[in-house]
């Protein structure tokens, strides 16, 4: 199916089911229950799941296949966001031209940075990419303020020329982003008993693009080009000794990865037309590294799982405060309730990074292959257990 073998087709179908049915999967608890705090089926968070999934899938093409660790991929995310917002300001509020421009500009930017950075490998390559990212951040924050609007961030105004659209709506407000008339913020809510499911147009656009990006990454992984990138990761020096120039392959992987990041940045701006320099900081680059390693570097579905895992913790656990904890443990005696809240308090709210750090440490120590390795171990254990349960003791017949 689609030129994929059975295993890859099943994986693509799994990702399709998870993304398209996310409003149901991410809302397991009734809206008015105490556990509704852990529901994640609202549009803003679902959009972040798939957008950062695209970002991580693209980063995995570089890091997972070639072994080149970039600490500056957030620069392409920021460039994509700025490009998309400028397209909204100058041309129209249609997201298609904005997304296309963000991919093209990020690809050209990645070509320049990759051409210089790939002259070195290992830690020197990582430091070069980090340096370029920090230079890009400082340029966007202070030097290029006519283009980026500095620390305030680039956003839409009523004075934008917008050649193929209106600068203001009939009621005097700023137009919203759309896909040929379908507004990205339009949301349909379906209430089923105590559950409320939200279906957002912007989320489903991002989800379809994630499926296309994931399919493309599978084709890259299974192609001769992908095999060449794996060979670079295995032993680039030996390949150079044979007379094969590996730089065009690594540069192509870097540019493709940068275009994925630009696509993610363009989608972020399409959902919320705002671009700021903070998207280019080194912390954003480190975040995508964590997503890829946590999910499983070099695997296909791992980066998507890692992106969802981290964004879930960032948005759900960071909102749990002492009042929520007290409501959960109100059935306990006052002294014990206060003690339990005191113990849990450092791991939630502003301290959610501590919980994420502990989980990341546990994954690295016990699951070096990431969440994908954990799933594979569970599958093998279940298969082994099923085999034992289905086995019947053999009969023996007495000798005559």
> Residue 398 above 50 pLDDT?
no
Separation between Cα atoms, residue 213 and residue 48, nearest integer Å? 15
- CA-nearest of 48, 106, 44 to 74 is 106
Domain boundaries, the chain: 26-285
Task: Say which residue the tokens 């546990």 belong to.
Answer: 362
Contact (Cβ atoms closer than 8 angstroms) between residue 277 and residue 150:
yes
Q: Tell me the pLDDT band of 399, cut-offs 50, 70 and 90.
A: very low
| Per-residue pLDDT, 270 | 93
Span 249-260, average pLDDT? 95
pLDDT tens-digit map of 332-353 = 888 888 888 888 888 887 788 8
Provide the pLDDT confidence category of residue 229 given band limits of 50, 70 and 90. Answer: very high
Of the candidates 289, 343, 356, 361, the one whose C-alpha atom is nearest the C-alpha of residue 317 is: 356
Q: What share of the chain is helix, strand, coil (3-state, %, to 5)?
A: 70, 5, 25
Looking at residues 64-90, what average pLDDT do you find? 93
Confidence at residue 244, expressed as pLDDT on a 0 to 100 scale = 86
> What's the token pair of residue 351?
């301290």
**With bands split at pLDDT 50, 70 and 90, how would you rate the model's confidence at 243?**
confident
Please report how the helices 302-316 and 352-366 are oriented relative to each other, as an axis angle in degrees rounded to 10: 150
Q: Tell me the per-residue pLDDT of 117-141, one tens digit each, with 9 for 90 and over.
A: 999 888 999 999 999 999 999 999 8
Q: Per-residue pLDDT tens for 11-33?
A: 999 999 999 999 999 888 888 87
Residue closest to 133 by CA, chosen among 113, 157, 116, 155: 113
């Amino acid at each position: 199916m689609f030129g994929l073998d059975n295993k890859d087709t099943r994986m693509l179908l799994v990702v399709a089911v998870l993304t398209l049915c996310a409003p149901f999967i991410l809302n397991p608890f009734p809206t008015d229950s105490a556990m509704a705090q852990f529901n994640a089926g609202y549009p803003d968070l679902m959009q972040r799941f798939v957008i950062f999934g695209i970002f991580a899938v693209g980063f995995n093409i570089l890091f997972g296949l070639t072994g080149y660790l970039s600490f500056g991929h957030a620069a392409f995310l920021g460039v994509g966001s700025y490009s998309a917002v400028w397209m909204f300001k100058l041309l129209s509020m249609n997201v298609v031209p904005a997304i296309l421009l963000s991919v093209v500009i990020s690809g050209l930017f990645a070509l320049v940075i990759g051409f210089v950075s790939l002259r070195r490998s290992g830690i020197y390559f990582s430091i070069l990419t980090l340096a370029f990212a920090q230079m890009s951040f400082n340029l966007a924050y202070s030097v290029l303020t006519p283009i980026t609007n500095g620390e305030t961030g680039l956003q839409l105004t009523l004075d934008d020329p917008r050649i193929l659209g209106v600068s203001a709506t009939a009621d005097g407000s700023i137009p919203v982003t759309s896909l040929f008339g379908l507004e990205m913020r339009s949301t349909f809510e379906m209430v089923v008993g105590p559950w409320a499911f939200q279906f957002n147009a912007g989320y489903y656009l991002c989800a379809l693009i994630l499926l296309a990006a994931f399919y493309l990454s599978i084709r890259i992984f299974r192609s001769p080009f992908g095999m060449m990138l794996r060979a670079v990761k295995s032993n680039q020096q030996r390949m150079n000794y044979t007379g094969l120039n590996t730089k065009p392959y690594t540069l192509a992987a870097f540019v493709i990865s940068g275009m994925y990041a630009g696509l993610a940045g363009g989608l972020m701006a399409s959902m919320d037309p705002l671009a700021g320099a903070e998207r280019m900081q080194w912390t954003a680059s480190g975040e995508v590294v964590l997503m890829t390693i946590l999910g499983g570097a070099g695997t296909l579905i791992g980066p998507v799982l890692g992106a969802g895992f981290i964004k879930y913790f960032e948005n759900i656990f960071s909102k749990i405060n002492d009042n929520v904890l007290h409501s959960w443990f109100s059935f306990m005696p006052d002294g014990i309730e206060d003690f339990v809240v005191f113990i849990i308090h450092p791991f939630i709210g502003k301290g959610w990074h501590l919980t994420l750090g502990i989980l990341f440490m546990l994954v690295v120590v016990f699951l070096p292959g990431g969440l994908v390795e954990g799933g594979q171990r569970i599958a093998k254990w279940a298969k082994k257990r099923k085999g034992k349960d289905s086995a019947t003791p053999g009969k023996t017949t007495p000798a005559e």
